[in-house]
Structure 1
Amino acid sequence: MENRKTKFLMVLLICIFNFNLCFAHEKIDTMCGIWSYVYGDGSYDSLAIEKISFTEYLIMYTSSYDRVHDMLEKGVVFSKNLIYIKPSDDEEFFVYLDYDRDSVYFLWNHSFPDSYYDVELKRASEIFNDEYKQKKQQEVEENLKKSVLEYLKQ
C-alpha cells in the first residue's frame, strides 16, 4: 500500500516539475528586446536579446564608451534570471534579468550586479519615449507628495 502511495506521489511531483519547466522561459521571453543606457557625454551601452531556441538566446552587446566587450554571441539559460555567455576560455559573461525593476545588466565574470560598477540598462522604448518619461516623472512626484503628507501626519 505504501509503495503505491510513494509511486503516486513521485509521479505527481514529476508532473508538477515538468509542467513548471514548460513555462520557465516565458518570463525570460518578456525581457527580449533592446536595452540601453545613455551616459551624460553621449556615449551609450546597448544590449539586444532575441530568442533562438528553448534554451538559447542571441545576445548582442555594444558600448561606445568601452569597445573591449562588443560581441554577438549565443547565450544559454543558466537560471530564471541569468543568461550565460562564454565566448572564450578566459572570459564569461552573464546577462542578469531584473524583473522587479524591469531592467537588465550585462556582467563580466560575475553573476550578480555590483551597484558601483555595473550599469542598469532600461528598455530603449522607455529611454526615448518622451510621453513615457513625463508619465513616470508625474508618478514619482505624486509618490513624493504622498510620502511627505504621510510623514507630516505622523
Structure 2
Amino acid sequence: MGEDVAMTGGCMCGAIRYATKGDAFIVGHCHCESCRKHCGAGISTLVGFKADQVTFSGAARDIYESSPDVGRAFCSKCGTPLTWEGDGGDIGPIVEIHIGTFDNPHVFAPTSHAFYNERLPWVDKPEQLPRFEGFPEDSPILQHGPTDGSPSRA
C-alpha cells in the first residue's frame, strides 16, 4: 500500500467510523492479557498507524485507560473494541486498530507476534478440529485441520 491508500472501518453498529491514510507500520498478533481481555479473544490482531494517519468520525469513541498513558477505545453503543492508543516511542503517538473492524481486513497480513510468552497454551498446538461453513449444528463439515487457503470439502 502507498501513501495515497485510505482504509476505512468502524464499529459494529456504525456509530463510529474511521479512515487511515498511508501505510501501517505494523500488522501483528498480540498475546498480552490486556489485549485478550479488551478484544475478548485468544489473540488480538492489530494494525498500527501513527496517530496523525487516523481520523475518526461519527460518535465519539469511549477510551478506557488500561494502564498509564495507554487508552483502549470502544463504542459505548455496541461495545466494539476499536483501538489501542499510546506512545510509539521514536515515532510518536500511535493508534493500533483491531483488524476485524476494518471494512476490508483481508488486505492486511500479520508479520509478527508480540508478548508471545503470554500466549494461551493452545496457540501453537497442531489440531485437527473440524471447520464448518456456519454453526456446527447447522452446517456441513468443510474439512478437518488447517487449510492452505483453497476451498475444499471434508
Normalised to the residue count of structure 2, the TM-score between the two structures is: 0.26
Normalised to the residue count of structure 1, the TM-score between the two structures is: 0.26
* Greater RCO structure (CA 8 Å; 6+ sep): 2
The structure with the larger Rg is 1
Instruction: Give the number of the structure whose residues are more often helix, by fraction.
Output: 1
